[in-house]
Structure 1
Amino acid sequence: MADNNKSGIRQSYINELNDLIGYQMENQVLLDEYVLEILKRLTLITKREVLICTNDKNRVQWVNIGDASTVNIGNAEMLYHVKALNKYRVIHTHPGGNPRLSAEDFSAAKKQSLQCIIAIGVDEKIPTSFSIGVPVVEEGTMEYGQGLFKTLKELNKFPLEHYILLADRFIKDDPNNRFDAEDEEERALLIGLDLPGNKGIELVDSMEELRQLVKTAGGIVEEEVCQSKNQIDPTFYVGKGKLQELIKVIQNHDINLIVANDELNSRQIANIEAATGTKTVDRTTIILDIFARHAKTKEGKLQVELAQQKYRMSHLKGLGIVMSRTGGGIGTRGPGEKKLETDRRHIRKQLEELEARIERINKSNQLNAVQRSKNKIKTVSLIGYTNSGKSTLFNRLTQSEVVTKDGLFITLDSTLRKVDPEHGEYLVSDTVGFIDKLPHDLIKAFKTTLMEVETADLLLHVVDVSNHNYEAQIEVVNQVLSDIGSGNKKVIMIYNKIDKLTPEEQDALLLKNQVAVEELALYISAKEGMAIESLFDIINRVLVGEKREMQLLIPYDDNKSLALLHEMKVVLAIDYQADGNLVTIEMTDDFPTHLFEKYQVTEV
């Protein structure tokens, strides 16, 4: 508050100035016309410097008036920060019309660690002009620099938030500060676009999915900003106006990570980081980071490294802050964590070596699949959207203890187990979950893991039916199946997690299971074991067909045919007749009937 006892200014002027305390200007301006007119008029009347201080919300905190040598820029109520600039902005007038900041102005701004200091040149004979002093980071140092403006409109276009962010980053990285320079906690701002013609998963659900991805990757989501646009901005992903909003959010919430809901190109990453001073990654980077966390086998780790290197190769020019970080954090984990060489030829060599090693694994897996086929061992592969309950169902079918928990991409390495012997003779594989906006190159990198899907005799498409967006998730999975060439596989739709529905909804869905075989669809709860016996039954029916009995009269001299029946484990009984062995067998659709047609007596 201004004090007329010290300034010798008429009380009415003091009151008018004090009335500004608590006034809040619009967020998009540094100074508005209303405040400017009051400051100019009081300056011309009193021939003194008039000063106001606003906070980062543009609310006037305190005021002062006096000579250049006596007006006080600071205030006893100021809250000081050691991790960032103080959240204050000083605006004051210069009687005589010279807007340039004085040495005393710069000294005060530096001492108080102000976000900015603005001077207004006020004189009756010349137009009002302005200057602004802001912290400028260059070559490892931070000093206050000055900008001059002829109009208020030009002043209000100044990108102050950009300078604040860079200064705050500099202060945090300064080893002379009394706090840890390495910021271990990743505080994320999520950004997404609602584009016309977007089909499938709605933006609100896609952003919630991104939130879960960041959480699974170990980050903390602080804020979320979305924008409706006709198309993705090729420069900043979002529009320029929205970018300014992002900068304010980053500043107010101490954000140190931006995560885009779509894949960004190298130019967009570089531009966003340059404008905000904040590490920027996209949805693909988060997914790769989660893959790196969950890959346990040599095969899985190789696939993660291949995917990481392919991504980095395509984004080599734009990895900015991410590339320069030697510490950890989202986007830096996994087998590809060591410092990435910027020589493209070297990266290509790494890619060739990785692809060769994975190809050797693929050939080995193909041989295993061929051997299983020769031995007539059927395989069933679980597929589905991530977090649909595949691993829980896998454990039910195989009596295994694969890790299951609520999270995205908990399963990365393909797991193959024998089904519970009481319910059949086939193998079950649990594979990585699919997700919306999964880049094609990423799918190709995980071809080894998805090979179990390609070679399977039957796919169980597991769906979280409790998710209101499950139909769109089904479309995502079907598209990925088509991409990997498995779109024509025999599929049973498994609508899981009915335990999350109301009892009435559960009863209605369980009734539909009466036609499960015909519809190739079943409603279950893997967690609670609901309808699991029906699932075993439908799998066996689809894999081997309906069982039926047949009688064959095999001559005593054809020991080879009898031995073959025993080898196929289809013999139920043998009755020794005068003409030969009357053998009763239990057969299914895959039984080689043509080999025994001449001995067929009857089909029971």
Structure 2
Amino acid sequence: MITGNTSGLKTAQLKALERIAGRRVSPDLIVSPELAKELCAVAFELARQVGVLLSRSGQVEAVMVGDHKSIMIPALRQFKASGGRLKGLRCVHTHLAGEDLSEDDLMDLLFLRLDMMTVVKMDQGGATWLSSAHLVPQPVQEKNWVVLPPEIPGRQGHFREFIAGLEDEFAKARPVREVDAGRDRAILISVTPLSKVKAQESMDELAELARSAEVIVLDTVVQRRDKINPRLILGKGKLGEIMLTALRLNANLLIFDQELNPSQVRSITDHTELRVIDRTQLILDIFARRALSREGKLQIEMAQLKYMLPRLTTRDDALSRLTGGIGGRGPGETRLEVDRRRINDRLSKLAKKLKEVSREREQRRSRRRKKDLPVLSLVGYTNAGKSTLLNTLTNSAIVAEDKLFATLDPTSRRLRFPEDVEVIITDTVGFIRHLPEELLKAFKATLEELHEADVLVHVIDASNPRYGDHVQVVEDLLRELELDTLPCLKVFNKIDLVEPEVVAEQLRLYDAVALSARDAATFGPFLDKARSLVLKKWQRRGGHAQSEIQEHPPCTPVSSTT
């Protein structure tokens, strides 16, 4: 394959390039003296840089023609990285003025994960010296590569053994048996203008999200930049370091804390040849794993399709000649257009199904209103302990784990307060900062449940050092959902993990009550305050909070979405 700047070449010159494309060198040599001499002769005649990509077997995979100062390496998607590490290709090319390896050469070595980058220094007599560089598992003098001493073409031997040893050095950093466990292995990346403390807080939360998605976190990278690179998000040098880290640790996934646009995902993927996702996509994946109900699955599918629609990149130009002009538009629909149409059709069907679900929910709420029972809704930041509290209050067995978004599907149970007051208590999906807009829209039917609440119970994780920020996030989202006018009882949970004087200060600042969701003996203040708020709200509505105890024993389920 001959690529690059071939315009204006004569037939004889093209044939000379074709002869180079048919060459083969010994696997133990970086390049043979004959091939080096031939590259120099063609480059001297064309006054352009000329190079080849050689496989480990010594086969010429591509011949490249550049200009006087540089050479362009073609896309290497068809070449899989050997052993998940180095590419299995080495680049050998000429420098017309006898200069050393350039910065561009070293960046290509790094970004393309080449086995080696070699420059053939030349003069009018042909090839003189080889200047080569290769990647290293650990930086040497703050550089991710090592430049070898100059060599004469043909005197370099044992190249195959050298590369095998280099691969072993990369492999030692992480045992293969661990990375082959079928789980994604990720490097977490944040590029932000925020302070170091704020950036680290957001990164810690991203790590928790990754844990919830069962992703192995190998490394984290935080880069503070006042101005974000519009194409690659971070600097090219930093991206190169991340690539080398991924190479050393056998990472197969990059997760960005910031939301990426489709163009940025493509650019980073093209540079790194790794899968790239952002925080939004990670949250969507967690929701897709955890949704159990029909409604939840519909909502997640809709959110994922809306997220995916602007990110479709599949192109098929095979029929492009048929699409132009009158009478040619019908048969020429591209694959991309077909995919978009199918997604839009599916979105329309999902919207209809969710409307049906919303009507069913409204009917259930109507029946509940007829029974004249007040409603308490648990809200709060994800992993604050809402599901655990509901389980302990009602002797239920809802899934409750120490993970972000362990519970997604809304659940309702009946609870009897002292003095024969019965209420419906509901658990809803947890909130999180920067909750994806697609999810907020998709869960509209679920969040409508909150509008039927008489009292909101805002559960707060007292043991989390960033609980103040979490309270603000929840209050902002409640305001966005127009729920900030409802009576709200703040409840600090997990007090068994916090010093008593700290809890006392929290209660004073937020006018709240405290408990441990695992210990029913701590529920007294919460039950008294909740009962008081329910009766006050219910009396204003003219309702009756009394229930028929014999007919409805305490803590029996009203409805459960699982």
TM-score band by shorter chain is: 0.5 to 0.7
Which of 292, 296, 305 is the matching residue for 2:292? 296
Among 532, 541, 555, which residue is 2:532 paired with?
A: 541
SS at match of 2:429: coil
Unaligned runs of 5+ in 2: 1-25, 43-50, 60-67, 81-87, 117-134, 136-163, 168-175, 316-334, 549-562
Whether 2:188 is the aligned partner of 1:190: answer yes
SS state at 1:159 partner: helix
Identify the residue that residue 251 of structure 2 maps to in structure 1.
Answer: 255
| Aligned pair partner of 2:93 in 138, 147, 157 | 147
Report the Cα offset of residue 441 of structure 1: 2.2
- Corresponding letter in the other structure for 2:532: R
The one of 433, 439, 443 equivalent to 2:440 is: 443
Q: Secondary structure at the match of 1:543?
A: helix
Counterparts of 2:111 and 2:427, CA distance in 1: 47
Q: Could you tell me how far 1:109 is from its partner in structure 2? A: 6.8
Q: Which residue pairs with 2:519 in the alignment?
A: 528
For the pair 1:405 / 2:401, whether they are aligned, the reply is yes
Unpaired runs of at least 5, structure 1: 1-70, 75-89, 114-128, 173-177, 320-338, 549-563, 572-604
Q: Please, which of 267, 271, 279 is the counterpart of residue 275 of structure 1?
A: 271
Q: Does 1:137 align with 2:137?
A: no
Change (3 A) 1:316 1:109: closer
- Cα deviation for residue 304 of structure 1 reads 0.9
Instruction: Tell me the alpha carbon deviations over residues 497-548 of structure 1, each in whole angstroms, 9 at most, x when there is no partner.
Output: 1111124445x359x58xx9xx751122112335312111111100103999
- The corresponding residue for 1:110 is 56
In the TM superposition, residue 396 of structure 1 has moved relative to its aligned partner by 2.2
Letter of the 1:146 counterpart: V
Identify if the C-alpha distance between structure 1 residues 446 and 72 changes in structure 2 by more than 3 Å, giving closer, same or farther. closer
After superposition, give the CA deviation of every residue in 1:48-75 in whole Å (9 maximum; x if it has no partner): xxxxxxxxxxxxxxxxxxxxxxx9968x
- Evaluate the alpha carbon distance shift between residue 147 and residue 539 of structure 1 in structure 2; reply closer, same or farther with a 3 A threshold: same
Q: Structure 1 residues 221, 355: CA separation in 2 closer, same or farther (over 3 Å shift)?
A: same
Aligned 8 A contact 1:270 1:318 in 2: no
Report the 3-state secondary structure (helix = DSSP H, G, I; strand = E; otherwise coil) of the residue aligned with 2:401. coil
Matches within 5 A, 1:153-302: 154=102, 156-164=105-113, 184-196=182-194, 202-302=198-298
Shift, 1:370, TM fit: 3.1
Q: Which residue of 2 aligns with 1:429?
A: 426
Match of 1:484 among 458, 481, 485: 481
Structure 1 pair 430/73, CA: closer, same or farther in 2 (3 Å)? same
Residues matched between the structures, number: 418
Letter in 2 for 1:454: H
1:230 CA displacement: 1.3
Relative to structure 1, the CA distance from residue 347 to residue 147 in structure 2 (aligned partners, 3 Å threshold; closer, same or farther) is same
Aligned to 1:462: 459
In structure 2, relative to structure 1, the CA distance for the partners of 1:414 and 1:318 (3 Å cut) is farther
CA separation in 2, counterparts of 1:355 and 1:107? Answer: 52
1:390 counterpart residue number: 386
Write the letter of the residue equivalent to 2:465. H
Displacement of 1:312 after TM fit?
Answer: 0.6
Structure 2 SS opposite 1:152: coil
Q: Distance in 1 between matches of 2:293 and 2:230?
A: 39
Question: Does 415-424 or 459-468 show the bigger shift?
Answer: 415-424
Q: Residues 264 and 183 from structure 1, CA distance in 2 versus in 1: closer, same or farther, beyond 3 angstroms?
A: farther
Question: Conserved in 2, the CA contact under 8 Å of 1:522 and 1:535?
Answer: yes
Counterpart contact for 1:135–1:163, Cα < 8 Å: no
Relative to structure 1, the CA distance from residue 380 to residue 348 in structure 2 (aligned partners, 3 Å threshold; closer, same or farther) is same
Q: Which amino acid aligns with 2:234?
A: V
TM-score w.r.t. the length of structure 1 is 0.60
Q: Tell me if structure 1 keeps the 8 A contact 2:184–2:253.
A: yes
- Structure 1 residues 112, 447: CA separation in 2 closer, same or farther (over 3 Å shift)? same
Distance 1:289 1:220 in 2: 15
Are the counterparts in 2 of residues 134 and 144 from structure 1 also a CA contact under 8 Å?
no
Q: Could you tell me how far apart the structure 1 residues matched to 2:71 and 2:517 are?
A: 64
Q: 1:137: how far off?
A: 3.4
Partners of 2:546 and 2:515 in 1: CA distance:
31
Q: Say whether the 8 Å CA contact 1:398–1:428 is kept in structure 2.
A: no
SS at match of 1:250: helix
Aligned to 2:306: 310
The alpha-carbon distance between structure 1 residues 108 and 241, as it changes in their structure 2 partners (threshold 3 A), is closer
CA deviations on 1:151-203 (whole Å, 9 max, x unpaired) are 336255442122227999xx99xxxxx99x998331101000231489xx821
Alpha-carbon spacing, 1:568–1:426, altered in 2? closer, same or farther (3 Å): closer
Give the distance between the partners of 1:568 and 1:526, measured in 2 at CA.
Answer: 25
- Identity in percent: 31
1:502-513 map, 5 Å: 502-506=499-503, 508=504, 512=507
Question: Aligned equivalents of 1:547 and 1:486: distance in 2?
Answer: 17
Change (3 A) 1:424 1:262: farther
Give distance in 1, aligned partners of 2:115 and 2:213. 26
Give the direction of change, closer, same or farther, for the CA distance of 1:318–1:407 in structure 2 (3 Å limit). Answer: farther
Give yes or no for contact 2:27–2:58 (8 Å, CA) kept in 1.
no
Q: Distance in 2 between matches of 1:261 and 1:392?
A: 29
TM-aligned CA distance change 1:487 to 1:233, over 3 Å: farther
Once residues 496 and 55 of structure 2 are traced to their aligned partners in structure 1, the CA distance between those partners, rounded to angstroms, is: 62
Relative distance call for 1:570 and 1:442 in structure 2 (3 A) is closer
Superposition deviation, residue 483 in structure 1? 2.2
CA distance in 2, matches of 1:208, 1:397: 31
Q: Match of 2:283, SS? A: helix
Superposed displacement of residue 352, structure 1: 1.1
Given residue 102 of structure 2, which amino acid in structure 1 is its aligned partner? Answer: E
Distance 1:382 1:318, change over 3 A: farther
Assess if the C-alpha contact under 8 Å between 1:387 and 1:407 holds in 2: yes
- Quote the offset at 1:397 in angstroms: 2.1
CA 1:534–1:139: 2 relative to 1, 3 Å: closer
Change beyond 3 A, Cα 1:202–1:107: closer
CA distance in 2, matches of 1:279, 1:165: 19
Whole-Å separation in 2 of the counterparts to 1:318 and 1:531 = 57
Taking the aligned partners of 2:534 and 2:471, their CA distance within structure 1 comes to 23
Q: Which has the bigger relative contact order, CA under 8 A and spacing at least 6? A: 2
State the SS of the aligned residue for 2:259: coil
- How far, CA to CA, are the matches of 2:76 and 2:516 in structure 1? 58
Q: What is the alpha-carbon distance in structure 1 between the residues aligned to residue 106 and residue 404 of structure 2?
A: 43
Query: What's the secondary structure of 1:148's corresponding residue?
Result: strand
Q: How has the CA–CA distance of structure 1 residues 261 and 547 changed in structure 2, closer, same or farther, with 3 Å as cutoff?
A: closer
TM-score norm. by structure 2 comes to 0.65
RMSD: 4.5
Q: Which letter maps to 1:500?
A: L
